[in-house]
Amino acid sequence: MQTNSPDLWHGTTILTVRKGGVVAIGGDGQVSIGQTIVKANAKKVRRLAKGDVIGGFAGATADAFTLFERLEAKLEQYPSQLMRAAVELAKDWRTDRYLRRLEAMMIVADKDVSLVLTGTGDVLEPEAGVMGIGSGGNYALAAARALATTDLDAETIVRRSLDIAADICVYTNRNVTVETLKA
């Protein structure tokens, strides 16, 4: 059995919500190979750029950390310009032979913008400030869209939505990390 196949690696739900002057990104901690949970407390959400940017990843961990490092370098090159740094990273990701093989997606946000970055060169700003990625991403996204119309704050919406995703997606657990920034 080959364990590095993308078809065998599962396990992540990353969600971002921007509401009421706060942006929150949260992710669960489960990593699975096939039907086996190999880690329950992975940290898939972190702060970047001296704390001014938050990000979460879905996909292969080593690939995601490579992309985080590349994004940090772009943020040093283009300080306080997340959109520009993300576009430059997407260009590299799409054209560089090494980076093209990386299998991950990222959600990143600063005080002004939230973005989803993919290996196909996409830099997408989520509609209505809500976006989910990963195996449970659509479940969390649906829950967050429903909760966004309530009086709940961004962090609470992220936490509740990830909890709902964990009820539905076997590759999502309740060991959640959430980071927030004030807009």
| Active-site annotation holder among 12, 13, 172, 177 | 12
8 Å CB contact between 130 and 141: yes
HEC readout, 5-65: CCCCEECCEEEEEEECCEEEEEECCCEEECCEEEECCCCCEEEEHHHCEEEEEEECHHHHH
Cα–Cα nearest to 22, from 167, 146, 148, 163: 148
Q: Is 12 a catalytic residue?
A: yes
Element (H, E) at 106: strand 104-109
3-state secondary structure of 178: strand
Active site residues: 12
